[in-house]
Amino acid sequence: MAAFFLCALTSIIFDLFSPFWYVIMAIILVLFCFTFSFYLPKKYKKYSFSVFSDYILIHSGVFFTKTKHMPMENIQFVVKVTGIMDHFFGLRSITIRAAGGAARLYGMTAEEADEMMDQLVRQIEKGEDE
């Protein structure tokens, strides 16, 4: 989408098939190929999360890797989101809001998300019982 808009913008700003137009188009193409064939697959591969009984662990990042550790007891509330594109691919994401931060678990199927949501709700409810 971004590549398409950049191409359109370049074509509006510069004369079509001028040297500048070629250079910028080439840069956009390289960036697009790099993102599509390397960055996004790598991002997908590197992204993982595990939910344990007392904490959630999220690994992410391509160039700068990040491991997020979120204790269950800090979780304040959870939100399951189905975006416009998610409808088409049957995907769901869950946003976990904790005191002082948030984490997003994405790329789950509807069933996985429901199961995850139930598990998180049970954990939060356990806090209330205690």
Partner 1 sequence: MRREQFHHTHPITIAKNLSRLLYFLIIPLARGLFVAVSSGSIYRWLQGAYFDIGILLIAVTIAVARWYEQRYHIGENGIYITQGIVRKKSQFIGNSQLATIITRASIFLRPILAVHLIGDTNAGKVGSSDFNIYISKKEADKLFDHRIEHYSSGDYLKKTYRPRSLYITAFSALLSNSLAGVIIAATLFSQASNLVNEEIQNRLLDTLSTFMQFIALYIPPLLSGIALVIIGGFGVAFIQNLLQYMLFTSTRTKDAITINNGLISKRRHLMRVDKINYLDIRQSILSKIFGLNITFVHCTGYGKDSKTSPVLIPAATSFQTKASLRLLLPEFKQQQREVYPKELSRIMAYIWQPLTIMSVTYLSAWILARYFLPTWSELISFIGLMLSIPFIWMLLIKIFDFATTGIGKNKNYYTLYYSSAFYLHTIILPKDKVTHIVIQQHPLQKRSGACDIVVYSFAENHQRHIIKSVPVKEAEAFLKM
By CB under 8 A, residue 82 contacts partner 1: yes
By CB under 8 A, residue 51 contacts partner 1: no
Applying CB under 8 A, what is the total number of residues that bind partner 1? 26
By CB under 8 A, residue 121 contacts partner 1: yes
**Number of Cα atoms under 13 Å in the Cβ half of residue 58:** 15
- C-beta atoms surrounding 54 within 10 Å: 8
Identify which of residues 31 and 91 has a Cβ nearer to partner 1 in the complex: 91
**Number of Cα atoms under 13 Å in the Cβ half of residue 73:** 3
Task: Choose the stretch contacting partner 1; rule: CB under 8 A; options: 8-16, 43-51, 61-69, 93-101.
Answer: 93-101
List the Cα angle 73/99/115 in 5-degree steps. 55
Phi, psi dihedral angles at 83 (to 5 degrees): -80, 180
Q: How far apart are CA 52 and CA 86, in angstroms?
A: 26
* Nearest distance in Å: CB 101, partner 1: 8
By CB under 8 A, residue 79 contacts partner 1: yes
By CB under 8 A, residue 19 contacts partner 1: no
By CB under 8 A, residue 13 contacts partner 1: no
List the Cα angle 104/99/75 in 5-degree steps. 60
Q: Which of 34, 36, 77, 89 binds partner 1 (CB under 8 A)?
A: 77
Q: Where along the sequence are the contacts to partner 1 (CB under 8 A)?
A: 75-84, 87, 97-102, 117, 120-121, 124-125, 127-130
